[in-house]
Chain A
Amino acid sequence: SQTIHQWPATLVQPVGSPLSLECTVEGTSNPNLYWYRQAAGRGLQLLFYSVGIGQISSEVPQNLSASRPQDRQFILSSKKLLLSDSGFYLCAWSHRDRANTGELFFGEGSRLTVL
C-alpha cells in the first residue's frame, strides 16, 4: 500500500530563518507531488506541483521554493521566512496516470509558526 510522510510535524521559527520541510512517498512510482498551504481559517492554496524529478511548477510568487531530487521526495524550502509564511503545510501525491481520478492523498501536515 502507498504511504506518504512529511516532517517535521510542528516547528516554530524566527523571522528571517531558513526552512526545510520534507515529504516522501512509498509504495508507488512516478507520482505527481504537491505542496499546499492552509492559513488559519482559510482554504488550501496550491504552492507547487511536480510531475517528475527536477520538474517544478510554481503557482504563487513568494519566497518559497520546492525541489524534487528523487522520484518520491519533495522538499519545500525558504532562505528567509516571513511572518506571512505561518500556516499548515500539506504535502500530497496523486497517480500520474491521467485516466485515474486524480484523487490527492495527503501527508499528516506540518504546522509552521513564524515569530
Chain B
Amino acid sequence: GQNIDQPTEMTATEGAIVQINCTYQTSGFNGLFWYQQHAGEAPTFLSYNVLDGLEEKGRFSSFLSRSKGYSYLLLKELQMKDSASYLCAVRGPFSGGYNKLIFGAGTRLAVHP
C-alpha cells in the first residue's frame, strides 16, 4: 500500500518560520508536490520536487530526500493568510497507473498574531 504521513495540526506566530514535514512509503515515485488548501476551497499548487535538494519560491521552500522518503515545506515570514491546510502528495506510477497523485491527510496550520 501507499503511505504518506504528515502532522495533523501546527500553530505558529505571524512573522515566524514554520517547517511542515512529510514522510512517504510508496511503491513508485515520480515527484512530490505540496498544495495549499484554504477551508472550503480547492487546493492550489505550491511546489514540486523530483530531485533531491531544496526548491525555493519566494517565502516558500520545499526540500526532498528520496533515499529517506522525506520532504518538508518551509514557510518564512508567516502571514495570517497562510492559515490553511498543506497537503503533501506523491506522484506515481503506482500499480499500473501513471501520473496519479496520492495525497497525505494534510497539515492544518494556524497562524496567530
> Bound state CA distance, A107 and B41, in angstroms?
9
B48 within 8 A of A: yes
Q: CB-CB < 8 A to A103: which residues of B?
A: 33, 45, 48
Q: Is the CB of A49 within 8 A of B33?
A: no
Q: Give Cα distance in the complex from A43 to B22, angstroms.
A: 13
Q: How far is it, in angstroms, between the C-alpha of A107 and the C-alpha of B44 when the chains are bound?
A: 10
Whether B76 is near chain A, meaning CB under 8 Å from some CB there, is no
- Is B105 in contact with chain A by the CB < 8 A criterion? yes
- Whether a CB of chain A sits under 8 angstroms from the CB of B43 is yes
Taking the complex as formed, is A115 at the interface, i.e. its CB lies under 8 A from any CB of chain B?
no
* Among candidates A45, A49, A88, A107, residue contacting B100 with C-beta atoms closer than 8 Å: A49
Pick out which of these stretches binds chain A: B12-20, B58-66, B91-99: B91-99
Mask, A74-115, CB within 8 Å of B = 1, is 000000000000001010001000100111111111010000
The answer, yes or no, to whether A32 is at the interface (CB within 8 Å) is: yes
Which B residues form the contact surface with A (CB < 8 A)? 30-31, 33, 40-45, 48, 50, 87, 89, 91, 97-106
B99 touches A102 (CB 8 A): yes
Can you name the residue of chain B whose Cβ is closest to the Cβ of A104? B101
Residues of B within 8 A of A90 (CB): 42-43
A11 to chain B, nearest CB (A): 15
B99 touches A94 (CB 8 A): yes
A44 contact from B31, B43, B99, Cβ within 8 A: B43
When the two chains form the complex, which single residue of A49, A101, A107 contacts B97, counting CB atoms closer than 8 Å? A49
| Shortest distance between the CB of A45 and any CB in chain B (Å) | 8
- Whether B31 lies near A101 (C-beta < 8 A) is yes
Residues on A with C-beta less than 8 A from B99 are 32, 94, 98, 102
For the complex, is A46 an interface residue (Cβ under 8 Å from B)? Answer: yes
Residues on A with beta carbons closer than 8 Å to the beta carbon of B48: 101, 103
Q: In the assembled complex, which residues on chain A have CB atoms less than 8 Å from the CB atom of B97?
A: 49, 57
Interface 0/1 of A20-58, CB less than 8 Å to B: 000000000000101010000011111001000000010
Measured CB to CB, the nearest residue on chain A to B108 is A41
A-B contact pairs, 25 of them (CB 8 A): A42-B105, A43-B103, A43-B105, A43-B106, A44-B87, A44-B89, A44-B103, A45-B103, A46-B103, A57-B97, A90-B43, A101-B91, A102-B101, A103-B33, A103-B48, A104-B33, A104-B43, A104-B45, A105-B45, A106-B44, A107-B42, A109-B40, A109-B41, A109-B42, A111-B40
